Amino acid sequence: MTRTEGAALMAARTVIRAAALVALIVPWIVADSAAVAGDMSVGAPPVQIIRVAASDSSSRAVTLGVSKSVVIDLPADIKDVLVADPKIANAVVRSSRRAYIIGIAVGQTNVFFFDASGRQIAGFDIAVTRDLNGIRQAIKDVIPDSDVTVQGIGQGIILSGTVANDAESQQAYDIAVRLLNDSSANTVGSGSKIVNAIVVRGRDQVMLKVTVAEVERDLVKQLGINLSGSLGYGTAVVNFNNTNPFSAYGQSLSGSSITGGWQNLSASLQAMEQAGVIHTLAEPNLTAISGETATFVAGGQFPVLNGYSCSATSSTPGAPVTCQPSISFKNFGVSLNFTPVVLSGGRISLKVMTEVSDLSSSNSLTIPEPGTSATATIPSIRTRRADTTVEIPSGGSLAMAGMIQDSTRHNINGFPGLMELPILGPLFKSNDYINQRTELMILVTPYIVRAVAEKDLSRPDDGFADPSDPAQVLLGNFNRIYGVGGKTDPPADNYYGKYGFILD
């Protein structure tokens, strides 16, 4: 093959390769152009891409106090600064890479820094609050063992962290309220702007032991003479009957009397005396968490007749009427209500209210039953109540004593004029004397308590066993064993002091 033929052959191969390449490229260009022409309508604007250059999503949170500042060092040169609200905070560029952010007023804003090409260097979410360092230092000085965090949000603040007891939590809240009120004239009544989220670690429990002792002595004396008869002179006859009631007590103590007479006169002597003593003792014990309220009631309920609801059995005139009583129940007995708050140093602020009530026949109400001759008697309630707030140490006792009531009623009933006679006067009158003396004493003892294991506790019925039939019938025993088994009593000659089931 000559040199000319070789050159022609290479040129032919080059032309073939170029044609093949054109055949591959041209269809792709045509298809792509057709697709673009199909997607774009005639006269439509070109597609624009929107990109967020700066936002809060990439910002760092910075908290400032009013008239406080923070220094920012940036990794690139600053070209532009954007402050959303210059009334809240301001940014001062000191050098190409250092800026100062200064808090001006309470509120929130953001600050962005950009470089020469418009890219964001940094963004800051600024929260300007009150200067809370004074409140933080005051709480730290007053409650040194606390871990209280003070955070500001807008016009208000949040107290968080832990304290030892409820008193310290309240103390921190009071300090924040007072200092926040004094910080500005526009924050009067800012207690509603403070959120107390302080957690009390290991809240103490307080057991209150209360002893209610009451002794009542009643004395009733009744003396009266009832005369009846007739006096006459000639054809003139005067009949008289003088019956003297006992109005102080309401009735005579008994129906017994001594009756005698002479000629047309008869006399009935009523001389009665009654003395009684009532002893009331209750020892309720309650346990409550510091700051919570506990309630105890030992007593019962008695029915009170509110009235009758009457209706006819049928619509026929003259049909009998049936009446149904309406009854409600009232409480009586011994009630205890107390709220303890554990203070520092083991002292307890105690709000206690105790009440002793019982049924009494005095001032009772008698209601007749409609349609019958029967009556219903509603008793009255006699109540003694004590309500106080004191501060005592754990284990210390408070005695609410001296509640003495002395009531005396003395009524004399008789015939006017004749009852005033020097010697014969007692024949025409009755003497009714009532004396009631009551003394109530309440002992209150709070204890700071901890939970104990069940095995360390004992019950009053531990070791109790019923007697056998022969021991009960022949010997009169009420129990076979009483007391915890396996324990021997100490010798009587070497123990001096109180003994019994409960030892204080």
Question: Given this model, what pLDDT does residue 402 score?
Answer: 62
Question: Given this model, what pLDDT does residue 461 score?
Answer: 72
Question: Given this model, what pLDDT does residue 466 score?
Answer: 80
| Mean model confidence pLDDT for the chain | 75
Question: Given this model, what pLDDT does residue 283 score?
Answer: 82
Burial (0-12, 13-18, 19+ Cβ within 10 Å), 83: middle
pLDDT single digits (tens) 303-335: 887 777 777 777 777 677 777 778 888 888 888
The answer, yes or no, to whether residue 501 has pLDDT greater than 60, is no
Question: Given this model, what pLDDT does residue 498 score?
Answer: 57
CA distances from 427 to 179, 226, 243, 264, 462 (A): 82, 7, 11, 16, 65
The answer, yes or no, to whether residue 106 has pLDDT greater than 80, is yes
* Token pair in block for residue 74: 């940036």
- Nearest by Cα to 286 from 221, 354, 215, 199: 354
The answer, yes or no, to whether residue 35 has pLDDT greater than 50, is no
Question: Given this model, what pLDDT does residue 200 score?
Answer: 77
Question: Given this model, what pLDDT does residue 444 score?
Answer: 83
The answer, yes or no, to whether residue 150 has pLDDT greater than 80, is yes
What does the pLDDT average to over 107-125?
89
Question: Given this model, what pLDDT does residue 202 score?
Answer: 65
Beta strands in 343-374 (DSSP E): 347-368
Residue type, 179: L
- State how far Cα 489 lies from the chain centre: 45
The answer, yes or no, to whether residue 37 has pLDDT greater than 50, is no
The answer, yes or no, to whether residue 256 has pLDDT greater than 70, is no
- Buried b / exposed e over 478-501, threshold 16 CB at 10 Å, is eeeeeeeeeeeeeeeeeeeeeeee
Top pLDDT among 109 and 363 is at 109
Question: Given this model, what pLDDT does residue 353 score?
Answer: 85
The answer, yes or no, to whether residue 185 has pLDDT greater than 60, is no
Residue type, 432: D
What does the pLDDT average to over 391-414?
79
Question: Given this model, what pLDDT does residue 483 score?
Answer: 56
Question: Given this model, what pLDDT does residue 329 score?
Answer: 85
* pLDDT-above-90 percentage for the chain: 2
Which residues are within 8 A (CB) of 439 and not within 5 positions of it... i.e. 6 or more apart? 214, 215, 216, 403, 404, 405
Question: Given this model, what pLDDT does residue 198 score?
Answer: 86
pLDDT single digits (tens) 40-89: 455 556 667 777 767 777 788 888 888 888 998 988 898 899 898 889 99
CB 212 within 8 Å of CB 334: yes
What does the pLDDT average to over 121-127?
89
pLDDT single digits (tens) 259-308: 666 666 777 777 777 787 877 777 888 888 887 888 888 778 888 877 77
What does the pLDDT average to over 484-492?
50
Beta strands in 156-244 (DSSP E): 156-163, 194-200, 205-233, 236-242
The answer, yes or no, to whether residue 31 has pLDDT greater than 50, is no
Task: Tell if the pTM clears 0.75, that is, is over it.
Answer: no
Question: Given this model, what pLDDT does residue 240 score?
Answer: 67
The answer, yes or no, to whether residue 438 has pLDDT greater than 50, is yes
Top pLDDT among 125 and 2 is at 125
Question: Given this model, what pLDDT does residue 445 score?
Answer: 87
Question: Given this model, what pLDDT does residue 403 score?
Answer: 67
pLDDT single digits (tens) 1-19: 544 445 444 444 544 454 4
Question: Given this model, what pLDDT does residue 132 score?
Answer: 80
- The pLDDT-based confidence of 32 (bands split at 50, 70, 90) is very low
Choice among 329-343, 362-376, 381-395, 463-477 with the minimum mean pLDDT: 362-376
Beta bridge partners of 327: 305
Q: What is the number of alpha carbons within 13 Å of residue 201 lying toward its C-beta?
A: 9
